[in-house]
């Protein structure tokens, strides 16, 4: 079972970027932890990671993936991108939205997500564990629909 994990703009800076909000863990470590966690769910989960600072590249990746499910932290594009939302809807991929921080408890503009409505659900506020919780939920949805 292949799962695509997409991280949007500035998430390549994790570890250095506003650690009081996003934690001290860099993206490579978060990804490696997710691989280890996936093994505890099922040894046949294959994860592909993609990070980009460019909206169109994220749209292209969603359109061309052969993954069965998508975990996406669209970062700032969460609050602006009709294009990413349309791409997820357009290819009908089962997706979970992830945020490290609790976006609902921050600035007003972060309370709006263009992506939530095309996802199965959202996990926010648990720093790197948000990705693991999303994988747990997505894996069980995909497994139950096989
Ligand atoms: C974020 C929250 C967004 O509002 C912000 O722009 C990010 C990261 C998060 O993971 O908490 O870049 O998606």
Which domains, and CATH codes, for the chain? 2-144 (3.40.50.9100)
pLDDT digits (tens, 9 = 90+) for 100-127: 999 999 999 999 999 999 999 999 999 9
Find the 141 Cα to ligand 1 centroid distance in Å: 25
d(CA 145, CA 126): 27
CA of 22 to the centre of ligand 1 (A): 8
pLDDT, tens only, 42-94: 999 999 999 999 999 999 999 999 999 999 999 999 999 999 999 999 999 99
Q: Which residues are catalytic?
A: 22, 99
pTM of the complete model: 0.97
- How many alpha carbons fall within 13 Å on the CB side of residue 43? 0
Contact assessment for residue 17 and residue 27, using Cβ atoms and an 8 Å cutoff: no
Give the atom of ligand 1 at the shortest distance from the alpha carbon of 75.
Answer: 13
pLDDT bucket at 146, cuts 50 / 70 / 90: low
Closest-lying ligand 1 atom to the alpha carbon of residue 10: 12
């Amino acid at each position: 079972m292949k799962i695509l994990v997409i991280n949007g703009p500035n998430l390549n800076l994790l570890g250095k970027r506003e650690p009081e909000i996003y934690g001290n863990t860099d993206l490579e470590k978060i990804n490696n932890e997710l691989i280890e966690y996936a093994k505890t769910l099922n040894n046949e989960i294959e994860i592909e990671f993609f990070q980009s600072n460019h909206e169109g590249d994220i749209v292209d990746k969603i359109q061309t993936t052969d993954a069965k499910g998508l975990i996406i932290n669209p970062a700032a594009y969460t609050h602006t991108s009709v294009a990413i939302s349309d791409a997820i809807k357009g290819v009908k991929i089962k997706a979970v939205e992830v945020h490290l921080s609790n976006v609902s408890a921050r600035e007003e503009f972060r309370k709006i997500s263009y992506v939530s409505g095309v996802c199965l659900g959202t996990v926010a506020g648990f720093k790197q564990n948000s990705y693991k919780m999303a994988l747990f939920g997505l894996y069980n949805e995909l497994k139950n629909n096989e």
